[in-house]
A and B are shown apart, each in its own frame.
Chain A
Amino acid sequence: MLTKRIIPCLDIKNGRTVKGINFVDLRDAGDPVELAEIYAQTGADELVFLDISATEERRRTLADLVLRVAEKVNIPFTVGGGISSVEDVDRLLKCGADKVSINSSAVKNPQLINDLAAKFGSQCVVVAIDAKQINGKWMVHLVGGKVSTELDLFDWAKEVEERGAGEILFTSMDNDGTKDGFANEALAKLSTELNIPIIASGGAGNMQHFTDTFKEGKADAALAASVFHFKEIEIVDLKKELKEKGIPVRL
């Protein structure tokens, strides 16, 4: 039986791991390769590396990090942050990334999704969508939530599926950093209306939140950062709990 995935997310700045609380304050949480190896050994199903650096040499630094991670880590990983072209993706996949995640660049140039799916296959194209509710409507936001758009979450999600995305990583800006749980209502709607896997992100605070997002939110995978980085939740304990609640996990 296909299991629900637990995915720690490592925010990367200049080759180091950071975690933004509501995407603003940053705290150092260690060396990415070392952290990735530990996660791979302690039950993580996948990893996501999100590069938030804005320097000139970011492309080279990120490619170098991907290569070092691929050498050590024996579970799949996704790389995102600032990826805007077929060439960017080609370089990262060649360095050993399994999937790439695109966000703002997909909104600015939706054709990029088609191009990536055609060249590399849908299986390695994750489209990340950040959204928050404005007057009761889920609106897509860019640049880590700072820039609003006119795009409706569900319309955009359907469009990215049609264009060939293999997966959607949905982050609720309203929930991110709150530790009050995932945006399960919106997640369930996405999961029901679309036929590609949905990764839930934003709001994980305790184990019950994960149970809820798999049961109520119908999520295929759940992503979190600080609860794992600061050892508030051990993945193996989380998986035991999920299994007890009847959710299929790899243990």
Chain B
Amino acid sequence: MKIVIIDYGAGNIQSIQFAVKRLGLNAVLSNDPEEIRSADKVIFPGVGEASSAMNKLKASGLDSLIPQLKQPVLGICLGMQLMCNWSEEGDTQGLGIFDVDVVKFSTRVKVPQIGWNQISDLCSPIFKGVKDYEYMYLVHSFYVKECKETIATTSYELEYSSALQKDNFYGVQFHPEKSSSAGAKILSNFFNLL
């Protein structure tokens, strides 16, 4: 199986690559459209600030490539947020794959949310064998509202989308690569998708 991690200069790519390796698989890093198009599975990572990450995507033309991909694509953290319509962070226009906006937590809670929180209302094959209310590691200041594409929710200030799915596109707000054996299970499920 050919796994490509999109390398556009935004994110902790090394950790994802190691997590894939711990599953006995191999992932290549690439920003080459041909290489990405030919992959069986694509991981779209992202850490940092939304508008600068989006600018990096645009600079390499990946902003038009990603929404056209036909194979399973997994956006992680900021990657998932960039797959949405719009983000309050830097007033950023996203890729528009998920029909929902990304907004900031209020000051009623500590921001960023850092740590292990639970995911529930799981409804996607990527959660096969993962128990309801499993703990995942999250680090974020902005969140995706609940919407029709929500496949998992988490509670922090309010219920929000901690995972999304539309057709072949998946997104997770948490870091499966850093979420112990339960996170590894989700990655493994994603790689096992047909």
Task: Answer yes or no: are A and B bound together in one complex.
Answer: yes
The stretch of B32-40, B61-69, B96-104, B108-116 in contact with A is B108-116
Report yes or no: A220 in contact with B114, Cβ–Cβ below 8 A.
yes
Give the contact-size bracket for chain A. Answer: 20 to 34
B residues 137-161 in Cβ contact with A at 8 Å: 137, 139-141, 155-156
B141:A123 contact, CB within 8 angstroms: yes
Contact between A220 and B175 (Cβ–Cβ < 8 Å)? Answer: no
Q: Is A174 an interface residue (CB 8 A)?
A: no
Q: Given A2-B156, A123-B140, is A74 in contact with B115 using a C-beta cutoff of 8 Å?
A: no
Q: Classify the interface of chain B: helix, strand, loop or mixed.
A: mixed
Tell me, yes or no, whether B15 is within 8 Å of chain A by CB: yes
Q: Which of A70, A96, A220 contacts B115 (CB 8 A)?
A: A220
CB distance from B22 to the nearest CB of A (A): 7
Are the CB atoms of B118 and A74 closer together than 8 Å?
A: no
Chain A residues 97 to 129 lying within 8 A of chain B, measured CB to CB, are 98, 118-124
In the complex, what's the smallest C-beta–C-beta distance from A97 to chain B, in angstroms? 8
B60 contacts chain A at the CB level, 8 A cutoff: no
B: interface residue count bin: 35 or more
Which residue of chain B has the shortest Cβ distance to A66 in the bound complex? B14
The verdict on A95 contacting B14 (CB below 8 Å), with A195-B107, A195-B111, A196-B111 known, is: yes
Most buried by B among A67, A76, A120: A76
A96 cross-chain contacts in B, Cβ below 8 A: 12, 14-15, 18
**Which of B79-87, B122-130, B165-173, B178-186 makes up part of the contact surface?**
B178-186
State whether the Cβ of B93 lies closer than 8 Å to any Cβ in chain A: no
With A3-B135, A220-B110 as contacts: A75 and B180 at CB distance below 8 Å: yes
Contact of A75 among B14, B21, B114, B178 (CB under 8 A): B178
Task: Specify which of A5, A93, A98, A119 is in contact with B116 (CB 8 Å cutoff).
Answer: A5
**Interchain CB contact under 8 A, A70 and B137:** no
